[in-house]
């Protein structure tokens, strides 16, 4: 076995150990991939759905929304009535006077319309929390889609690197045979081995990157970082959505809707502050045993909160109006930012598409032709191993750049969906098979 083959076997063993970490005995992950709804190879739609089903951030946002919902009946209800009892201490045990006591019951009654506005403000706050759930779902779905592309790209880079290690092994055999025949210098097979060693070193970094991406995906899935995941497909699923159609469709960002709901809540709070300029009421009833005349023992009355400190009340109204103005300005800024994000994401998706087509149709075919020509020249003695390795490096860079462009376009589309307020769903059809070198 040559040194290249031995080193490749060693690195393959390392990779297998890294991949097997998630299935070691004692792993706390009891759920199978089928339980998660994940098939083999890993499907992006299934991964996104699993993240939406399992990620605790979504459940935390949902619980926060439920808590806000419970504020609505509280805000629209009266405060609890108050009751009090008082006694005349000197009447206790007195022989010449009856026992004296006073019983009092009171209920605060806000100015008409106050309870309705309080409930409306609380409901708008709950609506804001509901849109926050949707924004969280959109963000996590996009993150999962982007990591899916990263995972696919790492696997493709590893596959292409393995192909080029095999290609260099072929070059080394040809160079060794020519060296044995005296038609090539000794440095020719050595150059091939050195280049293969560089690629083996590159594999180590790719294995590390795969572990990093897998750990982040497992975190999104609420699983142990070393839990196993299905392998990535050989080809990314084709995406039927047109970038321009997505960008020009009506944008419905949950974050924008949440800000609108927040503004609605602030409007209600301004109205509430203005109502504080009007008096609130309190109805009371009491019974006292200290009066001699029975007709005077039971009383009923009404009280008022007198809004006499107008400067403080007007300041509260001004503060609420300022908060409303700030919210409206934030909505305008957010709307502008969303429009800019859509345009930027559209430009990125279109650029990635142009780059992908350029590498697929021109750069990669030309690089393959260059390798074929350099190999033929080396085998006939008209070329050098250095020229052949330069051609192989050019092909490796071109093939990796093509896969990067494919992943970048898919990620740009996912980001375009996010900024437009849409989930990054894809179609199930696969694009054409990638040509082999």
Residues 98 and 289 sit within 8 Å (Cβ to Cβ) = yes
What pLDDT is attached to residue 430?
Answer: 34
What's the pLDDT tens digit per position in 271-290? 999 999 999 999 999 999 88
Q: What is the DSSP string of 354-400?
A: HHHHHIIIIIHHHHHHHHHHHHHHHHTTSS-HHHHHHHHHHHHHHHH
For 85, phi then psi, to 5°, come to -135, 140
For residue range 376-403, list pLDDT tens digits in order. Answer: 999 998 899 999 999 999 999 999 999 9
Read off φ and ψ for residue 25, nearest 5 degrees: -60, 140
Supply the pLDDT for residue 249.
67
Q: What is the DSSP string of 402-415?
A: HHHHHHHHHHHHHH
pLDDT classification of 203: cutoffs 50, 70, 90 = very high
Q: How far is CA 167 from the centre of its chain?
A: 40
| HSE-up (13 A, CA, CB side) for residue 292 | 1
Phi and psi of 286, rounded to 5°? -150, 155
Query: Residues 119, 76: contact at Cβ < 8 Å?
Result: yes
Q: Break the chain down into helix, strand, coil percent, rounded to 5.
A: 70, 5, 25
Tell me the three state secondary structure of residue 84.
strand
User: Distance between CA atoms of 302 and 181, rounded to whole angstroms?
Assistant: 116
Q: Within a 10 A sphere around the Cβ of 151, how many other Cβ atoms?
A: 24
* Average pLDDT estimate for 5-23: 47
User: Once rounded to an integer, what is the mean pLDDT over residues 110-122?
Assistant: 96
pLDDT tens digits, 152-178: 999 999 999 999 999 999 999 999 999
Q: Does residue 428 sit in helix, strand or coil? A: coil
Q: Helices marked H in 285-363 — which ranges?
A: 310-358
Closest of 394, 347, 407, 388 to residue 366, by C-alpha: 394
DSSP, collapsed to helix, strand or coil, labels residue 169 as helix
Judged against a pLDDT cut of 50, whether residue 10 lies above it is answered with: no
Q: What is the pTM of this model?
A: 0.82
Q: Which domains does the chain have, with CATH numbers?
A: 48-90+97-419 (1.20.1600.10)
Which residues contact residue 372 at a Cβ distance below 8 angstroms, ignoring those fewer than 6 apart? none
What's residue 233's pLDDT? 93
Give me the sheet containing 101-109, strands edge to edge.
82-87, 101-109, 281-288, 298-304
* CA atoms within a 13 Å half-sphere pointing along the CA-CB vector of 13: 6
- The model's confidence at residue 364, banded by pLDDT at 50, 70 and 90, is very high
DSSP 8-state code for residue 237:
B
**What pLDDT is stored for residue 23 in this prediction?**
38
Asked whether residue 13 carries a pLDDT value surpassing 50, the answer given is no
Please say if the pLDDT value at position 137 is more than 90.
yes
Chain mean pLDDT for the chain: 88
Eight-class DSSP state of 85? E
Which of 102, 60, 81, 114 minimizes the C-alpha distance to 268?
Answer: 114
C-beta atoms surrounding 117 within 10 Å: 22
Query: Chain-centre distance of CA 98, in angstroms?
Result: 74
Q: Which of 344, 346, 135, 119 is nearest to 260 (CA)?
A: 135
Listed in sequence order, the residues at least 6 apart from 300 whose beta carbon sits closer than 8 Å to its beta carbon are 283, 284, 285, 286
pLDDT score at 33: 83
- In sequence order, the 6+-apart residues with CB closer than 8 A to the CB of 285 are 104, 105, 106, 298, 299, 300, 301
């Amino acid at each position: 076995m040559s040194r290249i083959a031995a080193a490749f076997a060693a690195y393959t063993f390392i990779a297998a150990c890294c991949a097997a970490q998630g299935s070691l005995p004692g792993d706390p992950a009891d759920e199978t991939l089928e339980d998660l709804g994940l098939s083999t190879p890993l499907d992006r739609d299934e991964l996104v759905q699993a993240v939406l089903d399992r990620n605790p951030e979504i459940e935390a946002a949902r619980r926060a929304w439920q808590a806000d919902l419970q504020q609505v009946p509280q805000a629209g209800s009266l405060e609890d009535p108050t009751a009090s009892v008082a006694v005349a201490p000197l009447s206790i045990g007195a022989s010449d006077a009856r026992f004296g006591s006073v019983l009092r019951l009171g209920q605060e009654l806000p100015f008409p319309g106050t309870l309705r506005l309080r409930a409306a403000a609380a409901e708008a706050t709950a609506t804001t929390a509901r849109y926050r759930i949707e924004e969280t779902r959109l963000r996590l779905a996009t993150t999962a889609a982007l990591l899916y592309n990263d995972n696919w790209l790492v696997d493709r880079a590893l596959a292409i690197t393995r192909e080029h290690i095999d290609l260099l092994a072929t070059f080394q055999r040809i160079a060794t045979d020519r060296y044995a025949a005296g038609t090539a210098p000794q440095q020719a097979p050595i150059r091939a081995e050195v280049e293969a060693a560089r690629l083996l070193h590159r594999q180590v970094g790719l294995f590390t990157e795969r572990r990093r991406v897998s750990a982040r995906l497992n975190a999104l899935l609420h699983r142990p970082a070393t839990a196993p995941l299905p392998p990535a497909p050989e080809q990314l699923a084709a995406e039927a959505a047109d970038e321009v159609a997505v960008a020009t469709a009506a944008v419905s960002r949950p974050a924008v809707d949440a800000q609108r709901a927040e503004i609605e809540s602030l409007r209600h709070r301004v109205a509430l502050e203005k109502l504080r300029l009007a008096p609130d009421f309190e109805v009371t009833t009491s019974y006292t045993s200290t009066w001699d005349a029975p007709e005077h023992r039971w009383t009923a009355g009404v009280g008022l909160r007198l809004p006499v400190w107008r400067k403080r009340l007007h300041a509260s109204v001004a503060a609420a109006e300022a908060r409303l103005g700030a919210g409206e300005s934030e909505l305008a800024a957010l709307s502008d930012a969303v429009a800019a994000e859509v345009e930027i994401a559209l430009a990125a998706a279109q650029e990635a598409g142009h780059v992908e087509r350029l590498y697929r149709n021109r750069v990669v075919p030309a690089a393959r032709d260059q390798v074929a020509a350099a190999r033929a020249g080396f085998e006939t003695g008209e070329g050098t191993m250095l020229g052949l390795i330069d051609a192989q490096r050019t092909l490796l860079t071109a093939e990796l750049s093509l896969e990067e462009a494919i992943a970048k376009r898919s990620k740009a589309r996912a980001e375009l969906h996010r900024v437009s307020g849409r989930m990054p769903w894809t179609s199930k059809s696969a694009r054409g098979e990638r040509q082999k070198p």
